Chains A and B, each alone.
Chain A
Amino acid sequence: MELDPLLLSRFQFAFVVSFHAIFPVFTIGLAAYIAVLETLYYRTDNPAWEKLSKFWTKVFALVFGMGVVSGIVMAFQFGTNWSSFSYASANFMGPILSYEVVTAFFLEATFLGVLLFGRDKVPKGAHLFSACMVAIGTFISSFWILSANSWMQTPAGIEINDGIVQVTSWTQAIFNSSLPYRFAHMALASFITGGFVVAGVSAWYLLKGRNIETSRKALKMTVIMLAIATPLQLFVGDLHGLNTFEEQPIKVAAMEGHWETRQGAPLILFAIPDSRNETNHFEIGIPRLGSLILTHSLDGEVTGLTSVPAEDRPPVGIVFWSFRIMVGLGILFIVLSLAAAWQLWRGRLEQSPRLLRALTWMIPLPFVAVLAGWFVTEVGRQPWLIHGVMRLSEGVTPSLTGGMVLLTLIGYITVYAVVFTAGLYYLKRVILAGPDPVESTPEDESARAKRPWSAVPAGLDDNAAKARS
């Protein structure tokens, strides 16, 4: 069998970028959380905030380390496997990726050293400042990389001369039409991912009766945040989808499983798309709802996949199902967050072991949702590398042989398997060890009572004390 360098390069990129993506999506949210904890510690001097911050910083360091090393691979992947794309798009991509390095990567990497190791070496304010710089750095970084990605989805501000991209307007190119939605969607996804991990781990400690004081604080904060962020994500995701409907209707057709262009299209809940016969099997849908969502009219026209030749369509099944996984998980997140917030409001969250257990089980799911979302948008862009401008087959490195790509693909899979397994193992150990215990002093008790959102009945402290002993 002839090894196809293009197909293998696509596998390789999908693998290394998916592996990489799970780390920043978590660390962006977690960095912001650590900055909040450091701020609270700075302002209140309550040692519980410091314990929490120290604990989550340990987790952050492990995850961020894996994100950094897998991110460096990405910086070179464009050149090794997609050199024709890199060369053609360098006038835009080069400056954007470089701005990411000089505005974000240095900020994160340098201040991370002070955040991790400088607590006793710098004044408290400087340590807080470092925590904030790391958090801000992660956001700036995601802005640039999402600008680059959005530009590949909805290119703007350029002209093509001799096959080379030339930028005619930097503002139009950077702030291209899908960037605001993608950025908001991704930022919320990071908060939700970080939030569910912190909430899940805190819920687990509460179930085990460990680290009660810190876990209660952490759970309360994250549940409130999640109850706001998860419904908001539904709204932002919808806006993002409408932008895609306008700019990349064929991607939306694949997401929705619409083969024919028609008015009053249904919302398909379940189907097995069949690309060869251009139809769906076992379709279950709600009539006209698809048109209503996309066009805000029951009779609105929705473009179908068959409106373009087969070679201009993405692989429908992956896009269709990834979209359903993402949306399904998103709805689950909303339900669970609101349920947890409701119980928190009633002061019964800690007496709801089933809810706490459910929160613990949630930990891996935001990662699945984020990857599914990226599959939708990236696979949905196929067969284009730069939508409407450059095809995948035009972007691949000409000198590449299938054997070379296969060799390095196996290499990356092996290396990442080792790193990921070890990383998860050490992460588990850090979490099992937990934050340093905070000794409750009368001073702490009075400080806590003053906090207005402390709705937990005082009796719980006794339970907690029993559980700990």
Chain B
Amino acid sequence: MELIDLTLIWIVVIGIGVFMYVLMDGFDLGVGILFPFAPDDRARDEMMNSVAPVWDGNETWLVLGGAGLLAAFPMVYAVFLPALYIGVFLLLAGLIFRGVAFEFRFKASADSRHWWDRAFFGGSTVAAFAQGAVAGAYIQGFEVEGFSYVGGPLDWLSAFTVMTGLGVVAGYALLGITWTILKTEGNTRDWAYNLAPKLLAAVMAFFVIVSIWTPLASEHVRDRWFDHLTALWIFPLLTVLTAAWVFGKLRKRSDAAPFIGSMTLFALFYIGLLISMWPYAVPPEHTFWDAASDPGSQLFLLLGVLFLIPIILGYTAWTYWVFRGKVKAGEGYAGH
């Protein structure tokens, strides 16, 4: 396997898979995070119906992330999950409540519906926070001996990971609010236009805090960004420019541009994280190449994945096209 570096290809595949998850489940978790702040029940119905046909497919990218890590980078799977044991439980419990809330909310009677509103909000928020904390814990690094985690159950929980957790909650809320702008009209959209700039400001505040804190928390990251001032600084610059562009589009009440801009922001955050951490899969010591599975296994799965992912993207795009446009009253669950 000298000619083709399968591990490198797998980093790209998993990288894209995780990013797809963050974008796609990001906006529907964001809709959940925003739930209690929506102006009325009608707005909540519209918001939930706007994601109801697609959330399940979106969440599947997370399962692909988990299974793909086991297949291509088993060490990551076998270290992260034990290290984040309690956090993973919170993530899963959050996703369970968020997931069942879709079906249960519309089956519940009027006076018990608010419980599932809360489950939807609480589940989405806890899941988003846990994902942010996982990203923070990845930056922090893990105590590893051989190929096993040897640290304590709450090592992952620190002021830094709480900050990254809250940052992701704010970030997903931004994706959720701009998605709401894209998919609704009238009152609901007015409310979203009003709230979106505040969320954008909050996200940028988290961006600044985490960007300053990360190099302080990790020597490796400090060296990466400050040792030799390089072209890498184009990314933070682009982030600021994109945020300014989204801000402008929100003021002009553009429908689609804020959502596209918010996704671009996430792409830039993601690239920034990868630049910071490269080439470490299980920091502070183990690279992706240390964590890789057998080349035969990587190849066996890669052949199928390269063939199937375009098909998956194809039919996913088709369903988004089927449910394109604004959510109308009486569609989705209401007309169920």
Contact = CB atoms under 8 A, between A and B. Distances in A.
A307 B104 CA distance: 53
A176 to B, nearest CB: 16
Given A86-B74, A404-B153, A62 B107 contact: yes
Interface stretch (A239-247, A274-282, A334-342, A418-426): A418-426
The interface centre, meaning the residue of A65, A95, A429 with most chain B CB atoms within 10 A of its CB, is A95
A7 B336 CA distance: 45
Contacts of A102: 64, 304-305, 308-309, 312
A221 interface: no
A114 interface: yes
A404 B97 contact: no
B63 A105 contact: yes
Interface string A35-74: 0000000000000000000000010011001101111110
A18 B261 CA distance: 44
Contacts of A106: 57, 60, 64, 312, 315-316
A364 interface: no
A101 B74 contact: no
A75 B66 contact: yes
B54 A415 contact: no
B192 interface: no
B88 A91 contact: no
Nearest to A420: B100
Contacts of A397: 82, 85, 148-149
Given A109-B57, A110-B315, A399-B148, A167 B300 contact: yes
A72 B127 CA distance: 13
B104 A101 contact: no
Contact of B63 (A65, A66, A101): A101
B319 A113 contact: yes
B224 to A, nearest CB: 28
**Among B59, B294, B316, B332: residue with most chain A CB under 10 A:** B294
A235 interface: no
A116 B52 CA distance: 9
Nearest to A396: B82
A412 B308 CA distance: 34
A79 B66 contact: yes
A397 B153 CA distance: 12
B102 A65 contact: yes
B176 interface: no
Interface string A94-129: 110111111101110111111011100110000000
A14 interface: no
Contacts of A91: 74, 293-294, 296-297
Interface bracket on B? 35 or more
B72 A94 contact: yes
Contacts of B59: 68, 72, 109
- Looking at A87, A101, A415, A426, which has the most chain B CB atoms within 10 Å of its CB? A101
A147 to B, nearest CB: 13
B49 to A, nearest CB: 8
B215 interface: no
Given A65-B102, A113-B54, A117-B53, A72 B95 contact: yes
Contacts of A109: 56-57, 59-60
A94 B67 contact: yes
B81 A80 contact: yes
B299 to A, nearest CB: 9
Contacts, number: 225
Interface string B291-323: 001101100110011001100100110010011
A436 to B, nearest CB: 12
A110 B92 CA distance: 21
A218 B221 CA distance: 64
B82 A400 contact: yes
A198 B173 CA distance: 42
Contact of A92 (B56, B147, B297): B297
A118 B322 contact: yes
A17 to B, nearest CB: 14
B151 A399 contact: yes
B77 interface: yes
B68 interface: yes
A427 B59 CA distance: 24
Given A94-B67, A99-B304, A423 B74 contact: no
Nearest to A401: B153
A406 to B, nearest CB: 12
A398 interface: yes
Nearest to A62: B103
A326 B6 CA distance: 46
B67 A100 contact: yes
Interface string A165-206: 011001000000000000000000000000000000000000
Interface in B48-101: 52-54, 56-57, 59-60, 62-64, 66-72, 74-75, 77-83, 85-86, 88-89, 92-93, 95-97, 99-100
A11 interface: no
A388 interface: no
Contacts of A167: 294, 296-297, 300
A72 B316 CA distance: 20
Contacts of B64: 98, 101-102, 105-106
A78 interface: yes
Nearest to B70: A94
Nearest to B154: A404
B108 A426 contact: yes
A94 B88 contact: no
A303 interface: no
A400 B81 CA distance: 11
Contacts of B312: 102, 106, 110
B260 interface: no
Interface in A358-407: 397-401, 404, 407
The 3 A-B residue pairs with the shortest CB-CB distance in the complex, in nearest-first order: A94-B71, A79-B81, A90-B74
Given A98-B305, A404-B153, 20 more contacts: A65-B102, A66-B100, A68-B56, A69-B95, A72-B96, A75-B63, A86-B78, A90-B74, A91-B296, A101-B68, A102-B305, A106-B64, A110-B316, A110-B319, A113-B53, A117-B332, A166-B296, A167-B300, A401-B153, A415-B97
Interface of B: 52-54, 56-57, 59-60, 62-64, 66-72, 74-75, 77-83, 85-86, 88-89, 92-93, 95-97, 99-100, 102-104, 107-108, 147-153, 293-294, 296-297, 300-301, 304-305, 308-309, 312, 315-316, 319, 322-323, 331-332, 336
12 contacts: A72-B92, A75-B66, A91-B297, A92-B297, A94-B69, A106-B57, A112-B56, A117-B331, A118-B319, A167-B297, A399-B151, A426-B107
